[in-house]
Structure 1
Amino acid sequence: MLNDFKRFIARGNVLDLAIGFIMGAAFTTVVRTFTDGIIMPFVGLLTGGVDFKSKFWDLSGSTPANATPEQIQAAVESGAPLVMYGQFINDIITFLIVALAMFFLARYAVSIFRGLEAETPPPAEEVLLTEIRDLLKAKQVSS
């Protein structure tokens, strides 16, 4: 049973999946930093200085709307029912950036693999039939 497990793990697909998962986790961290540190400040600038991470709804009414990040964190730790819609907006933007990057990566990979695929010559039977067809067409035209 242990040998079967070793063979299963050593197969290329499982290793590729594991490597892809680890790379995806690392890529997500980079994209999160890119979103939080570069994209969201510009979005905040375009929306009049809004910091989306500090946007929330307090369902209990105990946290002021203009709370500092420390007050928000304290409210979360105390169990206050907060709807953190600003963080949700950040996460959607992060998701869209990751999805766009994966889309372009997949398109690039497909274009590379298309270039690597050698055109297989048609079977000899098909070549022969094509020659016969061409000869018959030429004979009809000359008649």
Structure 2
Amino acid sequence: MLKEFKKFAVRGNMLDLAVGVIIGGAFNSLVKSLVDNIIMPILSLVVGKIDFSNWFIALDGKHYGTIAQAQKAGAATVNFGVFISGLINFVIMAFVVFLIVKGMNALYKTKEEPKAPTTKKCPYCKSEIAIEATRCPHCTSELKEN
């Protein structure tokens, strides 16, 4: 059983997955930092210094200044501002991943050479015929060599 587990754990796909998860976690923290420290302050400047992190509804009907105050008082809260921040993080992360994949595809794109034609048109009946044909199978015309 130990040998089977070792064989499973060191497979190429398993290691690739582990590397992908680690890089994904690092990428997530990088994008979160980009959103929290650069994009959200600029967005708040444009829309009037809005702090999304403190947008919430206290379900006990009372008004609290911050989520921390509401939670300290033991009130249940719906933190839709935190959700908006997460949504913005997701959109930015998806867009950055799109740009990276698009760039990688452009980098590794190989130009395919056009294939040699395998058919030609009969000059008499305009049917598609094999390029090596000396007589048209449709109209039986004898074809001249070009």
Taking structure 2 as the reference length, the TM-score comes to: 0.74
- Residue number in structure 1 paired with 2:61: 61
Query: Would you say how many aligned residue pairs link Structure 1 and Structure 2?
Result: 131
Deviation digits for residues 10-36 of structure 1, max 9, x if unmatched? 111110101100111111111111101
Which protein is richer in helix relative to its size?
A: 1
Q: As a proportion of its length, which structure holds more strand?
A: 2
**CA offsets 1:111-139 (integer angstroms, 9 cap, x no match):** 34433xx969x8xxxx8x66993343796
- Structure with greater contact order relative to length (CA < 8 Å, sep ≥ 6): 1
Q: CA deviation at 1:142?
A: 5.5
Equivalent residue letter for 2:130: R
Please, which of 121, 139, 143 is the counterpart of residue 140 of structure 1?
Answer: 143
Tell me, which stretches of 5 or more residues in structure 1 are unaligned? Answer: none
The one of 100, 108, 118 aligned to 2:103: 108
| SS in structure 1 of the partner of residue 130 of structure 2 | helix
Q: What's 1:17 paired with?
A: 17
SS of the aligned residue for 1:136 comes to coil
Distance 1:106 1:49, change over 3 A: same
Structure of larger gyration radius:
2
| Deviation at residue 78 of structure 1 after TM alignment | 4.4
In 2 relative to 1, CA 39–4 (structure 1 residues): closer, same or farther, beyond 3 Å? same
For the residues of structure 2 that align with 1:77 and 1:6, how far apart are their CA atoms?
49
Structure 2: which 5+ runs fail to align? 121-128, 136-141
Q: Partner of 1:98 in structure 2? A: 93
- 1:21 maps to amino acid: V
Distance 1:16 1:137 in 2: 56
TM-score where L is the length of structure 1: 0.75
Deviates more, 1:89-98 or 1:54-63: 54-63
Q: Deviations over 1:52-109 (max 9, x none)?
A: 1111111112333xx1x4xx21422443111111111110000001111112222233
